[in-house]
Amino acid sequence: MRLTLLGRTESMANFRVALKALSVAELVGNGRGCYRRLASISLRSFASYVCPSSRAIIYEEHGPPDKVTRLVELPVCDLKENEVCVKMLAAPINPSDINRIEGVYPVRPPLPAVGGYEGVGEVKALGSGAKYLSIGDWVIPSPPSFGTWQTCIVKEENAWCKVPKDVPAEYAATVSVNPSTALRMLEDFVSLKAGDVVVQNGATSMVGQCVIQLSYLRGIQTINIIRDRPDLDDVKQRLKEMGAGKVFSESELEVKNVKSLLGDLSEPILGFNCVGGNAASLVLKFLRQGGTMVTYGGMSKKPITVSTSSFIFKDLHLRGYWMQNWVNSHTSNEFKTMTDYLLRLVRDGLLKYKTETVPFQDFDAALQKALGKQGHFSKQVLMFDK
C-alpha cells in the first residue's frame, strides 16, 4: 500500500496536496450520500459545527487490497441539520471487506470508496435536527454500510444505531456481521429445540465461535469440524471451553461412516458451511434425513458437490445465508433488537470471541494478517485513537 498522508486544509504549504485529497473526497461516499462534500470549505463559515478532517483508508480502483488501498486525509466538513459526527472507535477487517476491494463482491460501493463495512464510534456532534442520539453515545452503522475505516464519519442520524457502552469496543464494532450471522442461521432455517444438534465446519471462525456459544445457551449441541493443524489439541480444548459438544479435524473424519462418531448425540438437523469442498461434504454426511445445510462462506474457494441420492433419498435441503439480505428485509428496530441481545450476552460474559486489536495506524500490518499472507490470525480489529 502506498501511504499518502495528506496535510490539513488550513496549511498553506500543503494546499495542493489538500486539493488532491479534496478531489478524492468529492467522490468518496456510498449509496446513502457522500461522507464529505466538496462544498464543505466554502460553506464552513455558515455551519454551526465543523467536523474535523478524517484520516481514511480509501481505494480508487479494484485490485489486491495491499496494492490499491491508501491512507488519505479527508477535509473538514460542516454538519447538516439531520446529521451527526461520529468519531470511530473500532472497525474490523472482514473477508467481505477484502472481497469488496478486490471487486469480487456482488454489492460494491462506487469508486473511490472508503474501506470497511462495520464498526463502532462515539457521537461527537449533533446537527440541530438530531432527535434520538446524544453526545457520547456509542453507535454502529444501521444497517452496516461502507466507509468505517476512517477516524471520523458524518452521516444522517438515522443511519446509526445506538449500542450499549458497557462492552469492549471491539465487540460493539463486530456485532453486526459475524455474531448476527450465527444468530440468524440458528433461528431462521430450522425450528431448533434443546437437545437438537447442529454441525458446522470452519468452527474456529468468528461465526463458528458464536454458533458454539449461542447453541450452548439454547441447549443445542454442536459438532465442530476444523482444519488439521499443529495445535489441534489446544484449539479443541478452547472450543470445548466455549461449549462445543464435539470437535473433529477433517482428517479425523476420514472414516467409513462419520455417524459412528456421534456417540450419544442425535443426528444433526442443521449444518453450517463456510468452507466448501470436502469440508462441506463432511457437514452433509453428518446431517440426518431431511436436514438442512446453510452455506455462508467459501474459504477453500472450492464448490459444494452433492450426490443425487442426498437430495432424493436423504431429502437434504441446501440453502445459503447472506447477512445483507436479512438487513435489506428487516427494519432498523429489528436490527437493534438483535444487536442489543448479542451485546447483552457479551456484557454478561456469555458470548466471547477472539479478536486481535491493532492501532489504526498499523493498518498495513493488520491487512497483511487479514489477507492470510502470514498464516492464520484472529479477526483483525482496527482501534482508533481516543
Question: Judged by CB under 8 A, does residue 307 bind a copy of itself?
Answer: yes
CB of residue 382 vs a copy of itself: minimum separation in angstroms?
25
- Establish if 128 lies at the interface with a copy of itself (CB under 8 A): no
CA distances from 317 to 89, 289, 290, 295, 296 (A): 41, 10, 7, 11, 14
Helix H or strand E encompassing 68: helix 65-68
| Closest distance to a copy of itself from the beta carbon of 312 (Å) | 5
Nearest approach, Cβ of residue 301 and a copy of itself (Å): 8
Please, which residue, 194 or 312, has the CB nearer to a copy of itself? 312
Contact mark string toward a copy of itself, 274..293, x via CB under 8 A: --x-----------------
- Angle at the Cα of 5 (from 3 to 10), degrees rounded to 5? 170
Interface with a copy of itself includes 71 (CB under 8 A)? no
How many whole angstroms from its chain centre is CA 7?
31
Which residue in 20, 317, 336, 344 binds a copy of itself (CB under 8 A)?
317
CA–CA distance, 220 with 238 (Å, rounded to integer): 18
b/e map 154-175, b = 16+ CB within 10 Å: bbbbebbbbbeeebbbbbbbbb
Q: Which is nearer to a copy of itself, 121 or 277 (CB)?
A: 277
Check residue 377 for interaction with a copy of itself (CB under 8 A). no
Stretch that binds a copy of itself, among 158-166, 212-220, 247-255, 307-315 (CB under 8 A): 307-315
Residue 105 catalytic? yes
Smaller CB distance to a copy of itself: residue 33 or 303? 303
Q: Is the N-terminal amide bond of 164 cis, ω within 30° of 0?
A: no
- What is d(CA 276, CA 281) in angstroms, rounded to the nearest whole number? 8
CA distances in angstroms from 239 to 131, 158, 348, listed in the order given: 43, 38, 19
User: Among 16, 31, 45, 106, which residue sits at the site for a copy of itself (rule: CB under 8 A)?
Assistant: 106
Nearest CA-CA partner of 381 in 137, 70, 362: 362
Q: Which amino acid is at 13?
A: A
Q: Which of 23, 166, 233, 313 binds a copy of itself (CB under 8 A)?
A: 313
- Whether the Cβ atoms of residue 243 and residue 198 lie closer than 8 Å to each other: no
How large is the C-alpha radius of gyration of the chain? Answer: 22
| From 105, 171, 321, 353, active-site residue | 105
298 near a copy of itself, judged by CB under 8 A: yes
Q: Which stretch binds a copy of itself (CB under 8 A): 13-21, 124-132, 210-218, 300-308?
A: 300-308
Give least dist CB 30 to a copy of itself, A.
19
Q: How far is the CB of 270 from a copy of itself (least distance, A)?
A: 15
Catalytic residues: 105
Chain positions contacting a copy of itself, by CB under 8 A:
106, 276, 294-298, 303-322, 325
